[in-house]
Amino acid sequence: MLLDLDGTLVDSRRDLATAANLLMRELDLEPIPLKTVVSFVGRGARTLVRRALDHADPAQRVSRTDPRLRRFLAHYESVLLDTTAPFPGVRAGLAQLKARGVPMAVVTNKPISPALRVIDGLGLTEYFGGILGGDSLPTRKPAPEMLIEAARMLHVPLQSCLMVGDSDVDMEAAESAGIRGVWCSWGGFHPEQPRGECERVDVFDELVLLARSS
């Protein structure tokens, strides 16, 4: 089983918004509402920063080496465990899946350094046979390479995997990789079910049952 992180396993909305607004304050720009920042999450830190700056000042531009991206990441590293927590049922569900021998990996577009800190800081590392971040490979979701590599790390056939996530990015990645996509509705980051074919789960227990029947 391949799982997204933000909006799927953990609720990191407030810490991501705090980091974005620390950057806005540093640049003398207006703060951005929580709901708006959350809508920017899913395609990696650079996209989040670009969208935040476009929202605050459309004249802003962000390159791959833009120092403002590094400043955002520095701010985020300083707050990433302030309020972030697993969603209800996640910890118990992961324990059940591990006990049943279900191989699991995290596949997130969040950069690998903060992803590892969040997962380890919340005591979730033991459940995963692999963790890939948005800078682990040359491409990231919705390209399929991260999913292919995660299956390799788990030593399982790609076709046996489910890709579980809360956004269209995750479902597009599943489609690109030719595997089943499972959309979780509980995250609150992207409340609208993605278009296209995907299964839906509303609580983590349903995901446990789905894995049992797979």
The helix (run of H) or strand (run of E) holding residue 106 is strand 105-107
Could you confirm whether 11 is annotated as catalytic?
no
The Cα-based distances of 24 to 28, 99, 212 in angstroms read 6, 44, 45
Angle between helices 67-79 and 112-121 (to 10 degrees): 0
89: left (phi over 0), alpha (psi -120 to 50) or beta: left
Half-sphere exposure of 5 (CA within 13 A, CB side): 33
DSSP-derived letter for residue 108 is -
- Residue pointed to by tokens 């800190």: 117
Active site residues per annotation = 4
